[in-house]
Amino acid sequence: MSNIYKKQTIVIFTFLIIFFININQSFSKILDIKTPAKQVIIYDHEVDEVLFEKNADQLMKPASMAKVMTSYIVFDRLKDKSLNMSDTFLVSDKAWRMGGSRSFLELNSNVTIKDLLLGLIVQSGNDAAVVLAEGVSGDEEAFSREMNRYAKTLGMKDTYFTNSTGWPHPDLQTTSRDLIILTKRIIDDFPELYKLFEKKIFTYNKIKQSNRNPLLYTMNGADGLKTGHTNESGYGLIGSVKRNDRRVTIVINGLNSKKKRRFESKRLFNIVFRETTLLSLFSNQKSLVEANVWLGKKPNVSLVASKPFKKIISPFELNKTKIKLEWMDPISAPITRGSILGKIHINIPGQQIFQEDLISSENISKMSSLVRVKSILKYLLYGDIVAD
């Protein structure tokens, strides 16, 4: 019995979501952006891909964006249960005297970790950052060493922390790429605690303050993370937006005003969601085709994609994408689940043709010898295939 190839072509008009690729790749052929920010990186979490970058590896000062690492360390202590939200830390004289943004903590008071985190994240309180650092590590210098150990473990190769707040220091440095690495990890590692970053208002000591992240008030789906500003660094922001199961994070820095930071961060997000879309195929392991089985205990077998295929493309490319399925038919038993039995060809205009495997979704054994002989005879006489 000879095998023949069947072919099927499907034109894809609309789609849903995505994943896959590499944090060091740039997708600038779709995103051709001009921006006044000195350092920029735009990262898509679902495909693990950098969509645009400008001076992403240039050393810069993180300012209060360093507090994301302070949050990460405290979140990690909460996750391993060495700390609890209801635990309290003492407000030292050093913390109480910290300048810059404040949570208005009272000297020698005991403050819960929950309130300290809200003061750190919502109000960007330098006093809260120092209290947390001293409570976790004994003093801020020891906590800074801990920050650098974490940075090394996370793969932040060009980052060096000198304090828990981002307060100006000649040795303090990071890059926008490193801040993307940190942001991805804090979102992935602590999904419940990350929700603190979307809180807009926090009141402590009868003083009500609003979150400094402008995206929370202007962008649909915005849920984090942190602004930063010093005279040396300019105005910066780590912002993250999630829409329809797609998350994009942007780090910008080096702008000369709050107004420009707010305008530019919103503009960049609008460009991303307008000019790119997420193509998601085969994510639910549904049957793509039923292939005939020769001399098996079942007459056919469902073929599925070996893995999801997910990629960022432009809306134009989405409407022109074509899929061709190619498989052997009939397929001789026995068939092992996961066996490669065909190919999927994905043709995106202007790009290479991508290939994925079509595999069996189940095991199918051979017919018994007697039934196999009967089946072969019937096929020779009538052209039918029978199953046991």
* Residues belonging to the active site: 64, 67, 124
Handedness of CA 73, 79, 83, 86 (dihedral sign): positive
Q: How many Cβ atoms are within 10 Å of 325's Cβ, its own excluded?
A: 18
The residues, any chain, with a CB within 8 Å of residue 326's CB and separated by 6 or more, are 5, 6, 7, 8, 342, 343, 344, 345, 358
CA dihedral 229, 233, 238, 239 (to 10 degrees): 70
- Short-list 85, 121, 91, 114, CA closest to 104: 91
Cis peptide bond prior to 308, omega within 30° of 0: no
Q: Yes or no: say if 253 and 58 are a contact pair by the CB < 8 Å rule.
A: no
Residue with tokens 């996750």: 79
Structure tokens at 7: 């072919």
The residues, any chain, with a CB within 8 Å of residue 128's CB and separated by 6 or more, are 95, 103, 105, 111, 116, 117, 119, 120
Cis peptide bond prior to 349, omega within 30° of 0: no
Exposure of 101 in the CB half-sphere (CA atoms within 13 A)? 25
- According to DSSP, the residues that pair with 303 across neighbouring strands are 289, 360
Burial string for 71-107 (b: 16+ CB within 10 Å, else e) reads: bbbbbbbbeeeebeeebbbebbeebbebebbbbebee
Q: What letter would DSSP give residue 351?
A: S
- Short-list 365, 234, 253, 233, CA closest to 298: 365
